[in-house]
Chains A and B, each alone.
Chain A
Amino acid sequence: MKNKLKLIIIFVSLIFCFIIFYKGLDKSNTYTPKTNIEKSLPTFKAKDFSLNTYVNSENIFSEENYYIVNIWASWCVPCRKEHPLLMELNKNQSIKLIGLNYKDNLSNAKKFINELGNPYGQILIDKDGTLAVEFGAYGVPESFLIDKNKKIIKKIIGPINKEIIEEIKLIIK
């Protein structure tokens, strides 16, 4: 009897392991942080791009508006691709775009903006990348949708595309 019990336990555990491994095959093995958790907006101080003075996060996000924080750099190729979509999104009245210039050279960044246009209500300088870490970003481009309660409700890793724009437009209506 004891032997049979052992056998059944072993059999069941092996089937269990098989199922786990089988299902595990479908999972991606590279890690991307979760994009669906709601987080509160970090408080920080950053240098303004054009004014060259420090501003507080409370003052940046002062209005009762939707905000998009977009991390970009002049050396980032996908950022150029998403830029026209950001220009378009800026036309929407209920949302304001805040740019985070990541690990960039100031004159190159200014050239980028002059060349492709400025969709941002305000641009902040993040020379050493530490501000991006406050947002939980690890690469460029990344964007964060912030609602009227100052909560980050959506995180976009990689360049924004048309589907995401539509999703955002639905949310901010």
Chain B
Amino acid sequence: MLANQIGYYSLIIGLLFSIYLCAVSIKDFNNTNRNVSPNIITLSFLQLTFVIVSFLSLIFSFINSDFSNETVFNNSHTTKPLFYKISGTWGNHEGSLLLWLLVLTLFIFLFLIKSREQPKKYRILTLLFQQLIIVGFFLFILKTSNPFNYLFPVPKEGLGLNPILQDPALAIHPPLLYLGYVGSSIIFSASLAAVVQNYISKEWGQHIKKWVLISWIFLTIGIMLGSIWAYYELGWGGFWFWDPVENVSLMPWLTLTALLHCILVLEKRGTLTSWVVILSITTFMLSMCGTFLVRSGILNSVHTFANDPARGIFILIFLFILIFLSLGIFFLFHNDNNKNSSNFYWLSKESTILVNNWFMMYFLSVVLIGTVYPIFLDVISAEKISVGPPFYQKLIAPFLAPFLFFMSFGLKLKWIKSKIENKSSLTIFLIISFMLTFFILKDITTELFFYTILISAAFFLLFTTSKELFLKRFNNISQAVAHFGFSLLILSILFNGILSSEIITNIKVGERFNYNKVEIFFEKIEEKKESNFDSIIGYFKITNDKGKVVELNPEIRFYNQPVTITSEADIKTTLFEDKFLVMNIVKSDDYFNIRYQVKPFMVWIWISVLILSLGGLMGLYKKKYEK
């Protein structure tokens, strides 16, 4: 009960701090001191503290199963394990908005203490723009999504959290993801501040790069965790479904990746300033737009929070105010005084980064249009259509091969003007890639032409980046690692897709099922009781065509609050392949429906994303090991 009060009033105080901070900052902006007043940094710290206190109060209420709090009542239950009581705090709409606020206030504080060498007015403006966002979220929470609403009389038990959300990957997925795309707010605010101060320059590029990298690394890992959860938890063995909520996290990643590359150009050559500003604005606007799409109930998705349109209207208006404001500032203040140097020589690193932008913006448009088009069509002509995986695959796949080729060449080009060096080794790599791919694929797929081009492009990138790593050219190792990771990712996804196989059948205890030289033996069932669910575990022995036996034990769980039945797949992971078995109840009889999948190279998908992120991490610490 007390936690409720503390949590609520901390939010009010935090909001008051915003207003006070803005007033103090404006005053400080106009005075002649060279440095930002230390009071401002203290105030920012205090604001962060109060948000943390509020967040901790909510966690406390969840841990204590304090059902006088409406959010806790709606999303928790006394029998939930402690870890999930805690993670349930941010697994709901109100709590996750508190997480938004936490990241927003944290990042501005970190920005202030890590940017002491930057110009004063720029820092203050960044603070002001960030406070605008923070105030918006304070108001949104206090007016429409208060995590501290009272329930009276106090219920004895809560409604519980959907059991498929009770999973470790899903517990840490929101915090990491938010550090990524909410963290892009600081890039947004800093870019607007820099535009107003005409400070978009090499120095600024150098300074902002680490923020872009930090946001990018967290966003990459956050998205990966969401996919890992989908793979382990949802039972169909897939990891990406082009669902609107997934798309909404991918879009800022695309612009953030493009931004990262543009910052490199800005840092080295001082050009592509317009791209940098527009991409900075777009990344955060896409994050906010994503929040709108997911929380307003406008889209049909398994992932959306159950919400009412009133909240949607608030975010929509807030979003468009920010868009108009940022575009207004861009048009008013942006000085594109580098018109001449924007004409890059075609064979240079700058131009490949421009080509990268071109492809990234195309991929972004495919995902964005695919996600929002059904809304437009429905409003304009009341026709409802679906835009599903085939759309995205058909529009993206053909462009991946040229994209990978450009990437391979681009990595080797120098700034300003370049020749293609080592033409012979490149040609050898190209030929090897092609032939290797052809020989691997010719017996296993019918779409030989298409896959050969795509996979050989990925192999080409793999070989060229591996060469960089082998030769230990430390001045660009972060770049090589990241692109190596990316090539590995594409290869893993493609080979996994081509080589995966699946057997679906209904089977009774004691039966054997044979298909394609694979035998599935349903040995027995055991029952188990846990604190918040009962379960049946199936014991299966599966013999593959080479005679090797694997034991898999999928589970069906019967939760009591809320009353749900979930299927927990059993997955045996090796470096070579994953074996995936999931079991479902069939309505009548004592048959069980099972899905057995063999998924080669599955774990390499996660490994390659980690390598990709590692490349980014190495970029952060570049100065320390490169000359």
Q: Does B16 contact A (CB under 8 A)?
A: no
- A24 vs B297: C-alpha distance when bound (angstroms): 10
User: Given A3-B331, A7-B331, A10-B327, are A23 and B379 neighbors across the interface (CB < 8 Å)?
Assistant: yes
A24 touches B375 (CB 8 A): yes
Q: Does A27 contact B (CB under 8 A)?
A: yes
Q: Does B348 contact A (CB under 8 A)?
A: no
The minimal Cβ–Cβ distance linking A108 to chain B, given in whole angstroms, is: 12
- A126 vs B376: C-alpha distance when bound (angstroms): 39
Q: Does A88 contact B (CB under 8 A)?
A: no
- Give the residues from 378 to 396 in chain B that come closer than 8 angstroms, CB to CB, to chain A: 378-380, 384
Contact flags A1-35 to B (C-beta < 8 A → 1, else 0): 00100010010001000101111111101110000
B331 touches A25 (CB 8 A): no
The minimal Cβ–Cβ distance linking B89 to chain A, given in whole angstroms, is: 26
A21 touches B375 (CB 8 A): yes
B300 touches A29 (CB 8 A): yes
User: Given A20-B375, A20-B379, are A30 and B300 neighbors across the interface (CB < 8 Å)?
Assistant: yes
From the candidates A7, A20, A29, A31, name the one contacting B297 in the complex (CB within 8 A): A29
From the candidates B292, B299, B309, name the one contacting A26 in the complex (CB within 8 A): B309
- A161 vs B291: C-alpha distance when bound (angstroms): 39
The minimal Cβ–Cβ distance linking B208 to chain A, given in whole angstroms, is: 25
- A73 vs B378: C-alpha distance when bound (angstroms): 34
Taking residues whose C-beta sits less than 8 angstroms from the other chain, chain A's interface range is 10 to 19
From the candidates B313, B323, B327, name the one contacting A22 in the complex (CB within 8 A): B313
Q: Which residues of B contact A7 (CB under 8 A)?
A: 331
Q: Which residues of B contact A31 (CB under 8 A)?
A: 300, 384
Taking residues whose C-beta sits less than 8 angstroms from the other chain, chain B's interface range is 20 to 34
Q: Which residues of B contact A23 (CB under 8 A)?
A: 379
B316 touches A21 (CB 8 A): yes
- A7 vs B329: C-alpha distance when bound (angstroms): 12
Q: Does B91 contact A (CB under 8 A)?
A: no
Q: Does B312 contact A (CB under 8 A)?
A: yes
**Which residue in chain A gives the minimum CB-CB distance to B304?**
A29
Instruction: Give the secondary structure class of A's interface.
Output: helix
- A23 vs B378: C-alpha distance when bound (angstroms): 10
**Which residue in chain A gives the minimum CB-CB distance to B296?**
A25
Q: Does B576 contact A (CB under 8 A)?
A: no
- A24 vs B380: C-alpha distance when bound (angstroms): 10
Q: Which residues of A contact B378 (CB under 8 A)?
A: 24, 27
User: Given A3-B331, A21-B292, are A27 and B379 neighbors across the interface (CB < 8 Å)?
Assistant: yes
Q: Does B320 contact A (CB under 8 A)?
A: yes
The minimal Cβ–Cβ distance linking B588 to chain A, given in whole angstroms, is: 9
The minimal Cβ–Cβ distance linking A21 to chain B, given in whole angstroms, is: 6
A25 touches B300 (CB 8 A): no
The minimal Cβ–Cβ distance linking A103 to chain B, given in whole angstroms, is: 9
- A25 vs B300: C-alpha distance when bound (angstroms): 12
From the candidates B299, B300, B313, B380, name the one contacting A20 in the complex (CB within 8 A): B380
The minimal Cβ–Cβ distance linking A104 to chain B, given in whole angstroms, is: 11
The minimal Cβ–Cβ distance linking A16 to chain B, given in whole angstroms, is: 9
A18 touches B327 (CB 8 A): no
- Give the residues from 348 to 392 in chain B that come closer than 8 angstroms, CB to CB, to chain A: 375-376, 378-380, 384
From the candidates B323, B324, B379, name the one contacting A24 in the complex (CB within 8 A): B379
- A37 vs B375: C-alpha distance when bound (angstroms): 22
- A84 vs B384: C-alpha distance when bound (angstroms): 35
- A7 vs B330: C-alpha distance when bound (angstroms): 11
Interface centre among B296, B299, B304, B379 (most CB of A within 10 A): B379
**Which residue in chain B gives the minimum CB-CB distance to A103?**
B587
B320 touches A14 (CB 8 A): yes
Q: Does B453 contact A (CB under 8 A)?
A: no
A14 touches B298 (CB 8 A): no
- A27 vs B381: C-alpha distance when bound (angstroms): 12
- A27 vs B292: C-alpha distance when bound (angstroms): 15
A14 touches B324 (CB 8 A): yes
**Which residue in chain A gives the minimum CB-CB distance to B588?**
A105
**Which residue in chain B gives the minimum CB-CB distance to A31?**
B384
The minimal Cβ–Cβ distance linking A2 to chain B, given in whole angstroms, is: 13
B316 touches A18 (CB 8 A): yes
User: Given A3-B331, A21-B375, are A27 and B316 neighbors across the interface (CB < 8 Å)?
Assistant: no
Q: Which residues of A contact B327 (CB under 8 A)?
A: 10, 14
- A99 vs B141: C-alpha distance when bound (angstroms): 52
- A31 vs B312: C-alpha distance when bound (angstroms): 20
Contact flags A83-124 to B (C-beta < 8 A → 1, else 0): 000000000000000000000000000000000000000000
- Give the residues from 121 to 138 in chain A that come closer than 8 angstroms, CB to CB, to chain B: none
**Which residue in chain A gives the minimum CB-CB distance to B289?**
A21
From the candidates B299, B313, B331, B376, name the one contacting A29 in the complex (CB within 8 A): B299
B323 touches A14 (CB 8 A): yes
- A58 vs B547: C-alpha distance when bound (angstroms): 56
Interface centre among A14, A23, A29 (most CB of B within 10 A): A29
B298 touches A24 (CB 8 A): yes
- A80 vs B304: C-alpha distance when bound (angstroms): 33
Contact flags B324-336 to A (C-beta < 8 A → 1, else 0): 1001000100000
**Which residue in chain A gives the minimum CB-CB distance to B300?**
A29
B298 touches A25 (CB 8 A): yes
The minimal Cβ–Cβ distance linking A19 to chain B, given in whole angstroms, is: 8
Q: Which residues of A contact B375 (CB under 8 A)?
A: 20-21, 24, 27
**Which residue in chain A gives the minimum CB-CB distance to B301?**
A29
The minimal Cβ–Cβ distance linking B349 to chain A, given in whole angstroms, is: 29
Q: Which residues of A contact B379 (CB under 8 A)?
A: 20, 23-24, 27
Interface centre among A7, A24, A31 (most CB of B within 10 A): A24
B320 touches A25 (CB 8 A): no
**Which residue in chain A gives the minimum CB-CB distance to B380?**
A20
The minimal Cβ–Cβ distance linking A29 to chain B, given in whole angstroms, is: 4
B299 touches A25 (CB 8 A): no
- A22 vs B304: C-alpha distance when bound (angstroms): 18
Q: Which residues of A contact B292 (CB under 8 A)?
A: 21
- A18 vs B372: C-alpha distance when bound (angstroms): 12
From the candidates B313, B376, B380, B384, name the one contacting A25 in the complex (CB within 8 A): B313
Contact flags A56-82 to B (C-beta < 8 A → 1, else 0): 000000000000000000000000000
Contact flags A27-48 to B (C-beta < 8 A → 1, else 0): 1011100000000000000000
- A31 vs B309: C-alpha distance when bound (angstroms): 17
Task: Give the 6 A-B CB pairs with smallest separation, nearest first.
Answer: A25-B309, A29-B300, A24-B375, A23-B379, A25-B312, A24-B298
- Which residues of chain B have a CB within 8 Å of any CB of chain A? 292, 296-300, 304, 309, 312-313, 316, 320, 323-324, 327, 331, 375-376, 378-380, 384
Other than the given A24-B379, A30-B300, 4 more pairs (CB < 8 A) read: A14-B323, A24-B298, A27-B375, A27-B378
6 contacts between A and B (CB under 8 A): A18-B316, A25-B298, A27-B378, A29-B297, A29-B300, A31-B384
